[in-house]
Amino acid sequence: MVKKLKIDINSETMDIVSSEQLTLLQYLRQNGLTGTKEGCASGDCGACTVLLCDKEAEAPFITVNSCITPLLQLTGKQVITVEGLTAGPRLHVVQQQL
């Protein structure tokens, strides 16, 4: 089944048509956001980690493994990838520490 959803990725609102099987990682990489990597494809290694913001949750920012996160679960949420951490040529402090 195909459904429509709206997600904010790196401060850009995306209107998406997605199948139930599409993961966040697959969507990101298909749309040129290749900084998020696939390692184990089972959520164990953390190579695919992104930030998820849900302003209604107790902890507004959490990390999720995008390789096992169905895109359809993210309706109305904000996703921040490694590309979204900084808006210029310099690395974000978090990126510098890695």
Dihedral angle computed from the Cα positions of residues 20, 25, 27 and 28, in that order, rounded to the nearest 10 degrees: 160
**Tens-digit pLDDT profile for residues 5-61:** 999 999 999 999 999 999 999 999 999 999 999 999 999 999 999 999 987 777 789
Asked if the model's pLDDT at residue 98 lies above 70, the reply is: no
Domains of the chain with CATH codes = 2-97 (3.10.20.30)
Give every CB contact of residue 42 below 8 A, 6+ residues apart in sequence: 67, 68
Please, what sign has the CA dihedral across residues 7, 85, 32, 28? negative
Give every CB contact of residue 35 below 8 A, 6+ residues apart in sequence: 81, 82, 83
Query: Counting Cβ atoms within 10 Å, is residue 72 exposed (0-12), middle (13-18) or buried (19+)?
Result: buried
pTM, 2 dp: 0.86
